[in-house]
Amino acid sequence: MTDYDIRVLDDDSQHRAAHTLFRGTLHHPPAPDDRWPAVRESFEPGRVMGAFADGEMIGTVQSFSSRLAVPGGAVVQHAAVSRVGVRADWTRRGVLTALQRAQLRAMRSAGDVVSSLRASETVIYGRYGYGAATRFRYLDIDRRRAAPRTRPVGRVRFVEGEEGQRIVRELFDELGLRRAGTISRWPGWWTVNARIGSEEYVKTAVRSSGASGTSGTSGTSGASGYDGYVTFKVEPGENDPRQGKQTRLSVLDLWARDAEAWADLWLFVLGIDLVGEVSAVGRPVDEPVQWLLGDPRACRIPDEFDETWLRLLDVPAALTARTYREGEPVVIGVRDVYLPENSGSYRIAADGVTRVEGPAELVVDVDVLASAYLGDVSFSTLAATRRLDVVEPAALARADALFAVSEAPWCGTYF
């Protein structure tokens, strides 16, 4: 059976049923009543879909309105796809395919140029045109061994409650779309995810360049008067290391205007007393934390994972939005089963992108193009792993040169 009733869900009871179904696919119970009001606010009209069979909801998917930064500094309309799930008694019967087909078409029709998601299982989403486009890494730092080489040059102070929420949101709006791959955070994201002052041992600190710590002391500071923030959680352990459980500080969110503010925020958390280990999840793969330390071996990178799974909904618009390095042009052919209007050949050059009728030199499925789009992986690498068709071998070097970036793409926002 593949002919399912796909509907847009537009009332609170349907949203809660969809949320409960999604949580069930992750083996979690329904959201408790005291949590539901915050979750309710995260639903956006027209962006929640359900699949029905025999009068029952058997699957769901939704998205959030956002924006994505692309190489060169432009920002495009972006849909953040989340809460995707199919009931266990209906999996492998085409339910997700029906939902994806409807959602992809709806997002493109709404003007979204790209969409992205976080894949719970990485073998699922390539078939729908999503490709792994950014990565992140974990950090574990032995604070007692770290011996930072320098001290903060600015002033870092704690903020709490409503003041902290206001400052952090202002700062993120100013700083969050500077690197390719970063996305804007929609109001519902803050409602569900912000933990400033809402949980014991969760702290937020902001940085200003003035030694006095007053706001507005730096010419490069934004409206808030600060140029970066870090949110972290402390899990208390034993102060005596012989007891086996060290106090652990986990960096949850860290954004900075420039290298000086970035260094000060890391030095601040590394300087907090009675902490044995500092860890972080979801940090950029090129973040040079270990170079702040007198003992670089105190910083370990235990894991690195895929982060953004990107889908190009409007290939011509997406290719045109980003910039390219200087180099000879290349013609890339694109195949897109779910959005066939994207299929065709595109001449890509430093001065722009043109749709052409001539033969392609490289031919890719749309998920492979998405992986290369932000610059995290080269066309030569994709060709070596047999992910694309090479018609003209010399075209690989040209494509690599045009799509190259100087900074690893990264999102930094989990949803």
| Averaged pLDDT of the chain | 94
Q: What is the pTM of this model?
A: 0.94
Same domain, residue pair 100 and 209: no
Distance CA 227, CA 172 (A): 10
Same domain, residue pair 28 and 104: yes
Burial of 72 (0-12, 13-18, 19+ CB in 10 A): exposed
Same domain, residue pair 67 and 14: yes
Residue 219 pLDDT exceeds 70: no
Q: List Cα–Cα distances, 412 to 73, 118, 321, in angstroms.
A: 17, 12, 21
Domain boundary among 278, 306, 334: 306
- One DSSP character per residue, 129-161 reads T-EE--EEEEEEEEHHHH-BSS--SSEEEEE-H
Q: For residue 224, what pLDDT is reported?
A: 65
Same domain, residue pair 281 and 346: no
Burial of 294 (0-12, 13-18, 19+ CB in 10 A): exposed
- At residue 201 the predicted structure's pLDDT band, cuts being 50, 70 and 90, is confident
- Considering the domain boundaries, does residue 117 fall inside one? no
Distance CA 257, CA 172 (A): 10
- Considering the domain boundaries, does residue 100 fall inside one? yes
Same domain, residue pair 171 and 302: yes
* Nearest one of 408, 398, 399 to 364, comparing CA atoms: 399
Distance CA 375, CA 372 (A): 5
Give me the residues paired with residue 35 across strands.
Answer: none
- Considering the domain boundaries, does residue 118 fall inside one? no
CATH of the domain at 205: 3.40.630.30
Domain boundary among 286, 306, 326: 306
- For 65-115, what is each residue's pLDDT tens digit? 999 999 999 999 999 999 999 999 999 999 999 999 999 999 999 999 999
Same domain, residue pair 37 and 74: yes
- Considering the domain boundaries, does residue 126 fall inside one? no
Same domain, residue pair 179 and 279: yes
Domain boundary among 58, 78, 112: 112
Same domain, residue pair 277 and 294: yes
- For 164-179, what is each residue's pLDDT tens digit? 999 999 999 999 999 9
Q: What percent of the chain clears pLDDT 70, i.e. is strictly above it? A: 93
Q: Are 154 and 264 in contact (CB under 8 A)?
A: yes
Residue 218 pLDDT exceeds 50: no
- Considering the domain boundaries, does residue 336 fall inside one? yes
309: tokens are 């799974």
Same domain, residue pair 172 and 247: yes
Segment (H or E) for 52: strand 48-53
Same domain, residue pair 73 and 219: no
Burial of 253 (0-12, 13-18, 19+ CB in 10 A): buried
Q: What is the largest CA-CA distance in the chain?
A: 71
Q: How many domains are there within the chain? A: 3
Same domain, residue pair 35 and 66: yes
The span from the first CA to the last CA of the chain, in angstroms, equals: 31
Q: Are 278 and 249 in contact (CB under 8 A)?
A: yes
Distance CA 271, CA 292 (A): 12
- Considering the domain boundaries, does residue 121 fall inside one? no
- Considering the domain boundaries, does residue 155 fall inside one? yes
Residue 212 pLDDT exceeds 50: no
Domain of residue 177, residue span: 137-306
Q: Are 76 and 67 in contact (CB under 8 A)?
A: yes
Distance CA 148, CA 291 (A): 9
Residue 31 pLDDT exceeds 90: yes
Same domain, residue pair 157 and 290: yes
- At residue 211 the predicted structure's pLDDT band, cuts being 50, 70 and 90, is low
- Considering the domain boundaries, does residue 246 fall inside one? yes
